[in-house]
Amino acid sequence: MRKSALVQRLEQYATLSAGERDALDWAERRETRVPAGERLLGRGENSDTLYVVQLGWFHAAIRLPTGARQILRFHFPGDLMGTSSIAWAQAVHDFTAVSDAIVSELSKVNLGRIFREQPRLAGLLYAMSAAENVALSDRLTSVGRMDSLQRLSTLILDVLARLRVTAGGVIDSFDFPLTQTDIGDTVGLTKVHVSRTLGKMEDLGLIQRNGKRVRVLDEARMIADTGFVDRYKEIESSWLAPPPT
Amino acid sequence: MRKSALVQRLEQYATLSAGERDALDWAERRETRVPAGERLLGRGENSDTLYVVQLGWFHAAIRLPTGARQILRFHFPGDLMGTSSIAWAQAVHDFTAVSDAIVSELSKVNLGRIFREQPRLAGLLYAMSAAENVALSDRLTSVGRMDSLQRLSTLILDVLARLRVTAGGVIDSFDFPLTQTDIGDTVGLTKVHVSRTLGKMEDLGLIQRNGKRVRVLDEARMIADTGFVDRYKEIESSWLAPPPT
DNA sequence: CGTCGCGTTGACATTTTTCAAAGTGGGTGG
DNA sequence: CCACCCACTTTGAAAAATGTCAACGCGACG
């Protein structure tokens, strides 16, 4: 069996013991393919399970009564999806595959078991949840207090930073599988304004586009202009005791 | 010794065992008074401890290089503050007392001990963190996809819902200790526009103001207009096993 | 070949910001 | 007790950013 993406993620932050790895392997079930564009879980549906992204992108979104949509967050391989619904019996957000994807399930009950038997894993998951919190805070700051160009810059820098974690090297271009409507729903702009602003960013020499591919040309200027901070490089776990042996 | 507000909060979600209560009492240290307007912790400062709000309001904020500020979240009694910084050695946000307040400290190391010895508490804290994520998501949705009137409505409804949790009854007015600059920094508007929009809400008969006091007159219409969902009523914890005895 | 989703562009409308000034009220020192 | 001050709120007019509506282009796909 392939090593779970969640195990790989956690191993970036701490060395896992065999027992910890086994506990995760045991808890994850039922790998499922999800084709691009398909919704994995809709708001209001019962949710007694979480999902681990093994491959591909997802997004989490809320839909307003008016039909408007806010995309809250993207989920990459190794992310635990659906934690936001853990405190309620029904899902709070929609989860939709942005690209062809594979997930495995981790039931809430099994998560409870991990909390009981593998306290350090629990702590790491807690830290990941806190990191998610900060990512949302950064997006909120961007949407609440920046203009359109800065919002798109932070989005691109953010995606770049997250991809670099798994890519293992420094990348400066990537495939951006979102439509401009999706992008607008992420940063709080209209698709029309997204189109104009991306055009302007190209004119300014900040980025270069080729179909769905985006190349970042002047990362330094984009960072200076937005105050972007890459928070994905590390997470602190020294407050957690070493694992049981 | 007074019962910790965190214990009270958790007891709303699950019946705590004596061992769980003791573990929390033991972990919390050093109550401190914080006068209104004082900053408890600034971004970038070392943070090896979390804070439990015992009394009063705080807000968590980010400051941009430009000087702009985004207020991310308000913390009420029973909230665990600083969890967002748990994955980093330095604080990520500023925490400022909105009103005169009292906090106690809960060091990260003691939190680690709770995770090891009281797995169900760990699970409850995880659920609280997930709930915090959802609250941020709701704010992001409001700022990203609603106009000024709706943003202010959701803010007022949100504060109202959170105060009702502790007030124990249905309240329809409350003291709002924020300046209009603060409010604007919360919902992504200028103080000038906040002033205008609050005036309009009064004209429309949605609210009524008296100094710093706000009375909600037409909650039904505000809810219908925003799709607001009160998520503070309950949190699910049935995926957690009963506490050790 | 036609259709459909997506991106682009233009003209115009609306919302929100900016800048400036005046009003208000609570607190403080004389 | 009064006068002043300071932070905050309110108001107006003009500017800027963003949204809306509509048309067109383009490529993928049946």
Q: Calculate Rg over the CA atoms of chain A.
A: 19
pLDDT tier, B235 (very low <50, low <70, confident <90, very high otherwise): confident
Which pLDDT value is given to residue B178? 96
Set of chain B residues whose Cβ sits within 8 Å of the Cβ of A109: 239
Q: CA at A190, C1' at D19: how many angstroms apart?
A: 7
Task: Identify the weakest region by mean pLDDT among B48-52, B91-95, B167-171.
Answer: B167-171
Q: How far apart (Å, rounded) are the C-alpha atoms in residues B57 and B101?
A: 6
* pLDDT value at B1 more than 60: no
* A190 contact to strand D (CB, 7 A limit): yes
Estimate in Å the CA B125 to C1' D8 gap, whole number.
Answer: 39
Domains of chain A are 5-119 (2.60.120.10), 138-226 (1.10.10.10)
Q: Which of residues 187-206 of A touch strand C (CB under 7 A)?
A: 191-192, 195-196, 198-199
CA of B42 to C1' of D24 (A): 53
Q: Provide the 8-state DSSP code for A135.
A: H
Confidence of residue B201 (pLDDT cuts 50, 70, 90): very high
Cα separation, B199 vs B197, whole angstroms: 5
- Among residues of chain B, what percentage have pLDDT more than 90? 73
> Cβ of A231 and B88 within 8 Å?
yes
Q: Is the pLDDT of residue B230 over 60?
A: yes
Question: How far lies B207's CA from each of A213, B142, B159, B177, B199, in Å?
Answer: 49, 19, 14, 16, 9
Nearest CA of chain B to the CA of A135: how many Å?
Answer: 10
Residue nearest to nucleotide D10 (CA to C1'): B195
Out of A85, A125, A139, whose CB is closest to B126?
A: A125
Taking the C-alpha atoms of residue A184 and residue A193, their distance in angstroms, rounded to an integer, is 8
Separation of CA B84 from chain center: 12
pLDDT surpassing 80 at residue B245: no
pLDDT digits (tens, 9 = 90+) for B138-185: 999 999 999 999 999 999 999 999 998 877 778 899 999 999 999 999
3-state SS, one letter per residue, for chain B:
CCCCHHHHHHHHHCCCCHHHHHHHHHHEEEEEEECCCCEEECCCCECCEEEEEEECCEEEEEECCCCCEEEEEEECCCCEECHHHCCCCECCCEEEECCCEEEEEEEHHHHHHHHHHCHHHHHHHHHHHHHHHHHHHHHHHHHHHCCHHHHHHHHHHHHHHHHHHHHCCCCCEEECCCCHHHHHHHHCCCHHHHHHHHHHHHHCCCEEEECCEEEECCHHHHHHHHCCCCCCCCCCCCCCCCCCC
Across the interface, of B87, B131, B136, the residue whose CB is closest to A137 is B136
Residue A13's pLDDT is 85
The alpha-carbon gap from A11 to the nearest alpha carbon of chain B, in Å, equals 15
Q: What are the pLDDT tens digits along chain A (245 aa)?
A: 567 899 999 988 888 899 999 999 999 888 899 999 999 876 767 778 999 999 999 999 999 999 999 999 999 999 999 998 888 888 999 999 999 999 999 999 999 999 999 999 999 999 999 999 999 999 999 999 999 999 999 999 999 999 888 777 788 999 999 999 999 999 999 999 999 999 999 999 999 999 899 999 999 999 999 999 998 877 777 787 766 55
**Chain B: residue whose CA lies nearest to A223:** B65
Amino acid at A210: N
Question: CA dist B66 to A142, B44, B71, Å?
Answer: 12, 17, 15
Please give, rounded to a whole number of angstroms, the shortest distance from the CA of B226 to a CA of chain A: 8
With b for 16 or more beta-carbon neighbours within 10 A and e for fewer, the A11-40 pattern comes to eebbebbeebbebbeebbeeeeebeeeeeb
Report yes or no: B190 and B152 within 8 Å, Cβ to Cβ. Answer: no
Reply yes or no on whether the pLDDT at B202 is more than 60. Answer: yes
Cα B116 to its chain centre, rounded Å, is 26
Long-range contact list for A174-179, CB < 8 A, 24+ apart?
A174/A213, A174/A214, A175/A212, A175/A213, A175/A214, A176/A212, A176/A213, A176/A214, A177/A36, A177/A57, A177/A98, A177/A99, A177/A212, A178/A98
Which among A115, A140, A185 has CB closest to B70? A140
Q: Do A173 and A209 form a contact (C-beta atoms < 8 A)?
A: no
Which chain B residues are Cβ-neighbours of A126 within 8 angstroms?
A: 86, 115, 122, 125-126, 129
Q: pLDDT tens digit string along B97-134?
A: 999 999 999 999 999 999 999 999 999 999 999 999 99
pLDDT digits (tens, 9 = 90+) for A67-80: 999 999 999 999 99
Average pLDDT, chain B: 91
| Cβ–Cβ below 8 Å for B126 and A115 | yes
Q: Which two tokens stand for residue B138?
A: 């709701």
**Residue among B61, B126, B122, B120 at smallest CA distance from B94:** B61
Task: Tell me whether residue A224 is exposed, middle or buried, using C-beta atoms within 10 angstroms of its C-beta: 0 to 12, 13 to 18, 19 or more.
Answer: exposed
